[in-house]
Amino acid sequence: MTTRIVRAESFVCRAPIETPVVNAFGSMAERVAVFIRLTDADGLVGWGEIWSNFPTIGADHRARLFDAFIAPRLLGRSIANPAA
């Protein structure tokens, strides 16, 4: 089965934490995550995550990198074996 990617999106999610995590690099007052959603020509959707723990501003940077450089290379690409 061959499918074609028609949409690639990134989502930055933030959740405040009650007790900040403090380490040698600084303090983290929120947890962040970058989720990726790919949609194929048949409307099937797959989700992934880009690691973006610290610093929290790095999540925005990683999402912008995905949007600017990775997503355009995925759009229209045919995938013969999604699991691979």
pLDDT string in tens for the chain (84-residue length): 788 999 999 999 999 999 998 888 788 889 999 999 999 999 999 999 999 887 888 999 999 999 999 999 999 988 888 776
Kindly give, in sequence order, each residue whose CB lies less than 8 Å from that of residue 68, ignoring residues fewer than 6 positions away: none
Instruction: Indicate the residue type of 52.
Output: S
- Domains of the chain with CATH codes: 3-74 (3.30.390.10)
pTM value surpassing 0.75: yes
The Cβ-side half-sphere exposure at 2, using a 13 Å CA radius, reads: 4
* Residues 44/38, Cβ–Cβ less than 8 Å: no
